[in-house]
Structure 1
């Protein structure tokens, strides 16, 4: 008894069921599959390339993210310009406060922006600004009861720091109604009201200016009737009852370094550039000393973040390009080994990390810093037994870095930032580009009748001078050099003027613009590399699809041929069987 091998049953695309090798004893389905598999080897190779490319894409995009983080770490370390120095981490300020009376924090609050100059100030707070506040007489009625029987009806005008409004009191109105009418007009008057329940049968109404100071004091007048006089707010049609004044609504009075200053608010934002001052309480005779100093911790944190981000990039490159020097074999993770874009990026970053700040020179008697190693940042010493992932990374001597920041913060700033120094106070740098040189620019500004007519300049770079360059005049009072240095002219523009601008290009600036170029969406090395691989994968995928489409047709043709062969063999076997039966019958008759 024979058994049926179900694995040899084949169903074609046309729905026909056929036993593979039923007549020939050849498993033609498996044979065709092997033939097609052999013909599909080019597609298999393409799919292998796609798989490797996908691994490269994952690695390159991770590297792109790490480089983006490195660029972000340079945001406050490359010298971006701003009118208030808010983008200069080296100008961050910290505040120290002391008092010879109550604690300074209970009397005054001070915040500083980067625009604040370092220094010390003494304050005496004689009086803080207050809201003008007064009350009515206590009314012998509940807050929600009709008071018009007591006050009568009529119209009064209420005036505050914002303006005036007319309030009408009708028959049946309560104190709460009067309050609501006043508060509905609050935005127009700068006066608000509240009702105080003194007892179950007594209430009073409180009037308060919404802003502090003398300029926001309230005034009232009974226009028709005598509502406010009946309430005890006024003694006559316009005079406030002094007995019901709760707070006069005073201005703030302080002494700053002995100079008397008056403001209508307890918030001083215009007293000292870069400082916002809040008064909390007055204490005449008490001196509060406020010290403003550079917050070097913020600069140090930014530098530490830069080194950490740099090392993350280099360690990742080390991992993805690692070759065991003892065996000469690449690691399984070395998916980016030999990638020219990665090599170029690595070389560019190492070159900047080990190079000089451009235009920053050693001056006699000055501790000018021109390389990172001078402030304690250097490449890791890499010996025979060192961790290969640390190769070409940076390490920090924090003691040296702390000393540099503490003793020479300006020189550390020059080491990192792009700097522009002018000999003319009317000419200042407002921005620059990655193409802007470390150079000396000597400008001649042709101005008359309130306009800048033209700006020409001589430019000296590394001792070589080009003469007669022409700047582009922008709208307003600014102009730009051909290499992207943008300047603002604040002179009267009624006569010719000159200015010399000396620029230096710190390492932070060099890093920032190199990283910006690498990450450029269109022309950056990484973007182009990723785009090229993605395009390659698309092409490979299209080729695989075409091969599979062609092989599907070939497989069907082969299957049809084998099925035809099986059918022919089956017919031959039937004929042979019939002949065998005839021959056997003939023998029996004979």
Structure 2
């Protein structure tokens, strides 16, 4: 039908009405189409330029992050002569500047134990349990002092692993720092056990055999039975630092010279090694200068977006964009503003000699010696610590019992008053008085089941051991409980003490979920003062921050959500009553927080980009509407021109008819 219409157009009038219609449609469509094209071009440019703004902010934030790191301002340098006795492995920013004379008198070594020989590596060894504990053997190997600070293990040997290889794998699988291997001496196979280095990391082994499958006792190494043979004793590393003798369990030493880690290789009674640690302020100065350069680069980049493009002479796509202007203005305002939360010292870049140029807003560093008060070099030289405090986040508390351990983006700088209304405490249980000492376990059932923070352990004192005092018994029980697989796997621990008459069991955890209870006892446990009982549960810390009730869990106190202090995490120790806290995010922390809020997935830039994408979608919808209106307009024109052609055609036909009549009339017919 359309073809018929098109072919009919111009048929009567002789006018090229098809071309005329196309021209009229194009003229009618052009204003709206041009408007949509222009709008689309601008929006696409804005999308691109917001990406450039995002990139510029990201690069600026990178330089700010370097300024916000304490390591930047606390950097150290170290010098040490060439030596084969030690190697420096790490220098931390916490290292204290100074000179240290180090002499290595003894390096640490591990105790090793070897079993009797077996015919093969898969020889059966019996079934039961082997309890492994760490401590210190006397020189004669007749007395073992348990180290209750170290966690041993109880290793189960059953049908699945009752071979020499199975025992080796079970010891290694316990992951307590003891290495087990099988060594062939040419005629038999021996189990070789090597503990961690250190005098107090020597090993005690006590087997509890299954009655129907004996054999594990051949791996005993305790004060009563020693069927393993010591190959070498455990030793501590001994060194002197500026004349002071110190000992360490390992040859990897990281806490003798604060912030400096070293590995010890050999000892000498005559050689002294000089180590010099100095402050390295160049890193901080470089970071500050890099920031000034990065900020100026940022300004130059964004000026092309919101101002005049130097290359094209045209306004950027974000010219008069209120959100882009707002982002840039807020960054500029922070450059000029004082850092909130700083009460003493430097609080603005201007005080450091970093000035804003009035002409273009860029930063420059004043290094004019005549301007002493705001000379950057003089400030860095004379007040370096105050410079550090201005850039790096700072927290302080006037009470050693309350410390700030964390803060978040929601935390506002300022001063806060903390009042503690309930102390944190640990769950504990105190037994009855122990009748007498020494306590001899021979032929007795000194077993009990104990719950620590909802973790249950079955404990039994070894048979045939004599405990001379309550302190000795407490140390033994603490070691056995913490070495039990049920507690060791969950990292739950308990401290056992003897107060002169009775045993006290105290969980190492704070809070209302901290609880100690005796669930069941053996026939003779009363002789240790133990019976079925529940102790006293721990308590969560409670208190207020600036008068608002805070949330307490264990030792941690968290300010109320929605308050200025939201996000602070406070560690409250026993005995705390209150504190005055101060928090400053520092210049770098504040700037990073601001920039990250712009760059966040739900930040201003993402929101603006989403709105632009919505506008682009609307343009596609508007184009669809325009196409529909254009088609309707074309159809209307075609209908009107077709009607015109029909009229013209009819008039032509009428004219031809009249002319034919005229030719046949008497007086008008041609002669």
Please classify the TM superposition score into its range, dividing by the shorter chain length. 0.5 to 0.7
Unaligned runs of 5+ in 1: 1-10, 79-86, 140-146, 169-176, 230-236, 363-367, 383-390, 457-469
Quick one: structure 1 residues 533 and 164, their matched pair in 2 at CA, closer, same or farther if it must change by over 3 Å?
A: closer
Counterpart for residue 361 of structure 2: 392
Matched position secondary structure for 1:74: helix
Do the aligned residues in 2 keep the contact of 1:21 with 1:28 (CA within 8 Å)? yes
Counterpart for residue 412 of structure 2: 436
98, 105, 108: which one aligns with 1:126: 105
Measured in 1, the distance between the counterparts of 2:60 and 2:608 equals 19
What do residues 375-410 of structure 1 show as CA deviations (whole Å, max 9, x unaligned)?
Answer: 45334585xxxxxxxx32224468965654454321
Counterpart for residue 60 of structure 2: 70
Unaligned runs of 5+ in 2: 134-152, 219-224, 369-374, 425-540
Quick one: structure 1 residues 159 and 410, their matched pair in 2 at CA, closer, same or farther if it must change by over 3 Å?
A: same
Counting only pairs closer than 5 Å after superposition, residues 55-454 of structure 1 correspond to structure 2 as: 55-75=45-65, 77-78=67-68, 87-90=69-72, 92-98=74-80, 102=83, 107-118=86-97, 121-132=100-111, 182-183=168-169, 186-188=172-174, 190-193=178-181, 207=192, 209=194, 211-213=196-198, 215=201, 245=231, 248=233, 250-268=235-253, 276-323=261-308, 331-332=313-314, 334-358=316-340, 368-379=345-356, 391-396=360-365, 404-429=379-404, 430-431=406-407, 436-438=412-414, 443=417, 445=419, 447=421, 452-454=542-544
Quick one: structure 1 residues 542 and 576, their matched pair in 2 at CA, closer, same or farther if it must change by over 3 Å?
A: same
Measured in 2, the distance between the counterparts of 1:379 and 1:331 equals 26
Cα distance, 1:283 vs structure 2: 3.5
Quick one: structure 1 residues 446 and 211, their matched pair in 2 at CA, closer, same or farther if it must change by over 3 Å?
A: closer
What do residues 170-197 of structure 1 show as CA deviations (whole Å, max 9, x unaligned)?
Answer: xxxxxxx976874576324944436689
Cα distance, 1:319 vs structure 2: 1.6
Measured in 2, the distance between the counterparts of 1:578 and 1:15 equals 26
Matched position secondary structure for 2:80: strand
Quick one: structure 1 residues 446 and 178, their matched pair in 2 at CA, closer, same or farther if it must change by over 3 Å?
A: closer
CA RMSD for the aligned pairs? 5.3
Quick one: structure 1 residues 517 and 332, their matched pair in 2 at CA, closer, same or farther if it must change by over 3 Å?
A: same
Counterpart for residue 548 of structure 1: 627
Counterpart for residue 550 of structure 2: 473
Do the aligned residues in 2 keep the contact of 1:135 with 1:205 (CA within 8 Å)? yes
Counting only pairs closer than 5 Å after superposition, residues 416-565 of structure 1 correspond to structure 2 as: 416-429=391-404, 430-431=406-407, 436-438=412-414, 443=417, 445=419, 447=421, 452-454=542-544, 456=546, 470-475=547-552, 476-479=556-559, 482-484=563-565, 486=568, 488=570, 490=572, 492-493=574-575, 497=578, 499=580, 501=581, 506-519=586-599, 522=602, 524=604, 526-563=605-642, 565=644
Do the aligned residues in 2 keep the contact of 1:426 with 1:491 (CA within 8 Å)? yes
Measured in 1, the distance between the counterparts of 2:171 and 2:585 equals 59
Do the aligned residues in 1 keep the contact of 2:108 with 2:235 (CA within 8 Å)? yes
Cα distance, 1:549 vs structure 2: 1.2
Cα distance, 1:412 vs structure 2: 0.9
Measured in 2, the distance between the counterparts of 1:152 and 1:305 equals 68
Do the aligned residues in 1 keep the contact of 2:124 with 2:164 (CA within 8 Å)? no
Say whether residues 1:32 and 2:21 are aligned partners. Answer: yes
Quick one: structure 1 residues 95 and 47, their matched pair in 2 at CA, closer, same or farther if it must change by over 3 Å?
A: same
Counterpart for residue 51 of structure 1: 41
Measured in 2, the distance between the counterparts of 1:494 and 1:322 equals 57
Measured in 2, the distance between the counterparts of 1:445 and 1:452 equals 9
Cα distance, 1:31 vs structure 2: 1.7
Quick one: structure 1 residues 121 and 434, their matched pair in 2 at CA, closer, same or farther if it must change by over 3 Å?
A: farther
Q: With structure 2 as the length reference, what TM-score do the two structures score? A: 0.59
What do residues 13-39 of structure 1 show as CA deviations (whole Å, max 9, x unaligned)?
Answer: x79873764554433332222222222
Cα distance, 1:308 vs structure 2: 3.7
Do the aligned residues in 1 keep the contact of 2:338 with 2:347 (CA within 8 Å)? yes
Quick one: structure 1 residues 16 and 112, their matched pair in 2 at CA, closer, same or farther if it must change by over 3 Å?
A: farther
Do the aligned residues in 2 keep the contact of 1:448 with 1:493 (CA within 8 Å)? no
What do residues 255-275 of structure 1 show as CA deviations (whole Å, max 9, x unaligned)?
Answer: 445444444433345667655
Quick one: structure 1 residues 321 and 290, their matched pair in 2 at CA, closer, same or farther if it must change by over 3 Å?
A: same
Measured in 2, the distance between the counterparts of 1:274 and 1:474 equals 35
Quick one: structure 1 residues 531 and 165, their matched pair in 2 at CA, closer, same or farther if it must change by over 3 Å?
A: closer
What do residues 229-251 of structure 1 show as CA deviations (whole Å, max 9, x unaligned)?
Answer: 9xxxxxxx955678xx4x55544
Measured in 2, the distance between the counterparts of 1:152 and 1:88 equals 58
Quick one: structure 1 residues 91 and 507, their matched pair in 2 at CA, closer, same or farther if it must change by over 3 Å?
A: closer
Matched position secondary structure for 1:46: helix
Measured in 1, the distance between the counterparts of 2:183 and 2:632 equals 92
Quick one: structure 1 residues 453 and 356, their matched pair in 2 at CA, closer, same or farther if it must change by over 3 Å?
A: closer
Quick one: structure 1 residues 19 and 69, their matched pair in 2 at CA, closer, same or farther if it must change by over 3 Å?
A: farther
Measured in 1, the distance between the counterparts of 2:306 and 2:4 equals 53
Quick one: structure 1 residues 512 and 298, their matched pair in 2 at CA, closer, same or farther if it must change by over 3 Å?
A: same
Measured in 1, the distance between the counterparts of 2:402 and 2:305 equals 49
Q: With structure 1 as the length reference, what TM-score do the two structures score? A: 0.66
